[in-house]
Amino acid sequence: MLQECLDGLAINPSGVYVDVTFGGGGHSRAILEKLGPEGKLIAFDQDKDAQANALDDERFTLVPMNFKFMANQLKYLGYEEGVDGILADLGVSSHQFDVGERGFSTRFDGPLDMRMNQNADQTAAQFLNKSSQEDIASVLYKYGEITNSRPVAAAIVAKRSEAPLKTTQDLISILETFVPAPVRNKFYAQVFQAVRIEVNQEIRVLERFLEQSSQSLKIGGKLVVMSYHSLEDRLVKNYLKSGSFDGELDKDFFGNVRRPYKPQGSKPTIASAEEQRVNTRSRSAKLRIGVKLKEAGNE
Ligand SMILES: C[S@@+](CC[C@H](N)C(=O)[O-])C[C@H]1O[C@@H](n2cnc3c(N)ncnc32)[C@H](O)[C@@H]1O
């Protein structure tokens, strides 16, 4: 949905834009193509591998950090007046997914790592070896929609008492006893997704990012978010609609709704049938766009 993201940003050639999920730089390159000589693009990525893709362009700056630090970093770089558009293409990049040593993929045997930031404290192995059975079950249920999360968590805890889990194959060998072969890959992917979301604190980080986005955008600036998980999409949808994560509207004394954004459209944009056919990841993508309002409640 590259074109839809660009349309959502409605790029002003001399504007300042932020791509908080730089990855392989595909979206950033397309944004730079739309910018004139005065335009600026600031990108974030917490994965040090992404630095190898940094673009050689004087209008471009890559901040090698978690986007939960976006607002302060933009001020530090001199953009106190706000930026014109912010893009987030959430989740894991194909590079991260395709490198077995990162531990994100069920397709390779690699270390149980799953950290997007290689310097972060907690790996997937640490989470699975140290957390309580209840916490593991809750993560599998909340972030992976694993309906039998309790017996799966119990099996993980039983196995780790023999020897700590170290590799993706250690985890898969526990999971394979729970599902028949035809649906195994889907089940493994759901469990890996759940552990990854927990290890990278993706939901909490998204909440902080959404709050900061409304502080960092100019009035009329665009927030464009592509998410791949129903919990993420719900947070984005609620925040754009109401300025809160539970969707509760905040009203002032006179009953005016206070919210930072006006959502563009009531439904998310999804990938075309053709894109879904060639890019399986796009099948779960939901794109939402918000326009920063003048003042909360003042459209
Ligand atoms: C789906 S990929 C983005 C792909 C990118 N749009 C492109 O065109 O190549 C997501 C990227 O965002 C990064 N990322 C995810 N969460 C992040 C966070 N909280 N802070 C900084 N980077 C993050 C990941 O490391 C990954 O490289």
Predicted confidence (pLDDT) per residue in 161-207, tens digit: 999 999 999 999 999 999 988 999 999 999 999 999 999 999 999 99
Residue 36 CA from chain centroid, whole number: 28
Q: What torsion, rounded to 10 degrees, do the Cα atoms 253, 255, 258, 259 define?
A: 170
Contact 31, 6 (CB under 8 A): yes
Residues contacting 75, CB < 8 A, separation 6+: none
CA angle 236, 240, 241 (to 5 degrees): 115
Which atom, in ligand 1's list, is nearest to the CA of 2? 8
Q: How confident is the model at residue 151 (pLDDT cuts 50, 70, 90)?
A: very high
What does the alpha-carbon distance between residue 85 and residue 18 come to, in Å, rounded to a whole number?
6
Residues contacting 276, CB < 8 A, separation 6+: 282, 283
pLDDT for position 299: 55
pLDDT for position 86: 98
Residue 155 C-alpha to ligand 1 middle, in angstroms?
A: 32
Which protein residue's CA is at the shortest distance from atom 18 of ligand 1? 66
Residue 48 C-alpha to ligand 1 middle, in angstroms?
A: 11
Which protein residue's CA is at the shortest distance from atom 5 of ligand 1? 23
DSSP 167: B
Contact 65, 94 (CB under 8 A): no
Q: Which amino acid is at 159?
A: K
Residue 9 C-alpha to ligand 1 middle, in angstroms?
A: 18
Which atom, in ligand 1's list, is nearest to the CA of 22? 5
Q: At residue 256, does pLDDT exceed 90?
A: no
In the structure, which protein residues have their CB atom closer than 6 angstroms to any atom of ligand 1? 21, 23-27, 44-47, 50, 66-68, 89, 91, 93, 116, 205
- Entry pTM: 0.95
Instruction: Name the burial class of residue 89, with classes exposed (0-12), middle (13-18) and buried (19+) by CB atoms within 10 angstroms of its CB.
Output: buried
Q: For the residues of 84-133, what is the DSSP string, one character each?
A: EEEEEE-S--HHHHH-GGG---TTS--BS---SSTT-S--HHHHHHHS-H
Q: Are strands 286-292 and 217-227 parallel, antiparallel or unpaired?
A: antiparallel
Which protein residue's CA is at the shortest distance from atom 15 of ligand 1? 91
pLDDT for position 281: 86
Q: For the residues of 134-156, what is the DSSP string, one character each?
A: HHHHHHHHHHH--TTHHHHHHHH
Predicted confidence (pLDDT) per residue in 4-53, tens digit: 999 999 999 999 999 999 999 999 999 999 999 999 999 999 999 999 99
Q: At residue 298, does pLDDT exceed 60?
A: no
Mean pLDDT (the chain, rounded): 95
Q: What torsion, rounded to 10 degrees, do the Cα atoms 47, 52, 55, 56 define?
A: 140
Residue 14 C-alpha to ligand 1 middle, in angstroms?
A: 25
The mean pLDDT value for 130-159 works out to 98
The mean pLDDT value for 231-239 works out to 97
Predicted confidence (pLDDT) per residue in 48-95, tens digit: 999 999 999 999 999 999 999 999 999 999 999 999 999 999 999 999
pLDDT for position 284: 92
